[in-house]
Amino acid sequence: MRIGVGIAAALTVLAVTAGNAAAGRGAFIPPLEVELGHAVTGAPDGRQLESTQLLVGLSWASLYPKPTPVDVSVGVISTFRPADETMATARVVAEEEDESAVGGYIDVAVRGAAGKYWRTWIGGRGELMDHGRVSGLGGAARASIEIWTGTAAGDRNALILGTVALSAWAETGLREQPTGGTASFVAAGLGMRLPLILAAH
């Protein structure tokens, strides 16, 4: 259920946009940053628990089409076990600690080395995750590099403003666990930025 809520929250805007466009009511996409990756969490008994991690958020650097020294994003984060995990392993993990969770986050990053069409970010993220029975706090230190270009165009029927980008990222952090205690994790993956898009019928 929590997996569905997380993915639904992440994709609702795109689905509404597609539906409105098909119905002739125009389109709206906010300035988004979308990231998908693989996380490995150290369990208290020494096991390593693997999960897929999805983040979708509103981002200042996705809205601003020019170089900016800082990025602030707010959004939804979801973690869930890989679909190909065996049922036996899934039952053991479910009994001891559930890696599936959904919650909110805020991320603040400062720009590092950069060129005309590439830039790096160093920052940190705070999380509040819902594990079903309990909620837990988390935090991560992260670094990323992206290839980007700004765009700003429009007329009376359409507006595109912001940044289009592809990125690679890595992070490490701590998360409170549903069974108690705190566990460390590392994660890495790919991401993209979408600019603000408004289109009238």
Tokens of 47: 């096991």
Tokens of 189: 């993956």
Which CATH number characterizes residue 23's domain? Answer: 2.40.160.20
Per-residue pLDDT of 14-73, as tens digits, reads 444 444 444 456 789 999 999 999 999 987 667 788 999 999 999 999 999 999 999 999
Identify the pLDDT of residue 98. Answer: 53
The Cα-based distances of 65 to 3, 75, 79, 152, 177 in angstroms read 33, 20, 30, 7, 39
Identify the pLDDT of residue 128. Answer: 96
Q: Please give the residue range of the domain that contains residue 180.
A: 2-199
Buried b / exposed e over 147-165, threshold 16 CB at 10 Å, is ebebeeeeeeeeebbbbbb
Distance of CA 62 to the CA centre of its chain: 13
Q: How many domains does the chain divide into?
A: 1
pLDDT tens, the chain, 201 aa long: 444 444 434 444 444 444 444 445 678 999 999 999 999 998 766 778 899 999 999 999 999 999 999 999 999 999 988 655 544 444 444 444 456 899 999 999 999 999 999 999 999 999 999 988 889 999 999 999 999 999 999 888 889 999 999 999 999 999 998 877 888 999 999 999 999 999 886
Identify the pLDDT of residue 12. Answer: 45
3-class secondary structure, 132: coil
Identify the pLDDT of residue 189. Answer: 98
Contact 117, 149 (CB under 8 A): yes
Q: Where are the beta strands (DSSP E) in the chain?
A: 27-29, 32-42, 48-59, 70-80, 101-114, 118-130, 135-154, 158-176, 182-194, 196-199
